[in-house]
Amino acid sequence: MREIIGFGDRKVQKALAIAIRDALIAHGSVAQDLATLTVPADEWRNIARAAVRELGRPVQTLIVGNSVHAALRDWPRDGNEQNIHNQAMRPATDSVSRGSSAFEL
C-alpha cells in the first residue's frame, strides 16, 4: 500500500487544490488513481470541492472503481469550453465515422 504523505499539511493541500482547479478549468474534469493519492480520497474530494467553490461553479466528486473524480457540472458553459470539449471528443467521433469502435471485441 502506498504511504499517504502530507495528511493535513496545508502546503500539500494548497498545491493539490491548484492542480485540481487548473485541470478542471482546462478540461472540465479530472481523475486520479486511488493508489497514487498523497491524501485520503475523502480529503481529495473535499479539496476539489473547495477549489471549485472559489470559481463559483458546481462540481461533482465521486469514487468510481480505483479512481477519484471531480467534474464541473456546468461544463461546457461557454464557447471556449465547448471548443475544448469538441476537440477532446474528435478522436472518438472520427473513429465512429470510419466505422471502427473502441468497444469492438
Domains of the chain, each with CATH number or no CATH: 10-97 (3.30.110)
pTM of the model: 0.74
pLDDT at 3: 41
- Angle in degrees, CA 39, 49, 28, rounded to 5: 105
Report the C-alpha gap between 97 and 67 in whole angstroms.
30
Which amino acid, one-letter code, is at 98? Answer: R
Which pLDDT tens digit goes with each residue over 28-73? Answer: 999 999 999 989 999 999 999 999 998 999 999 999 999 999 999 9
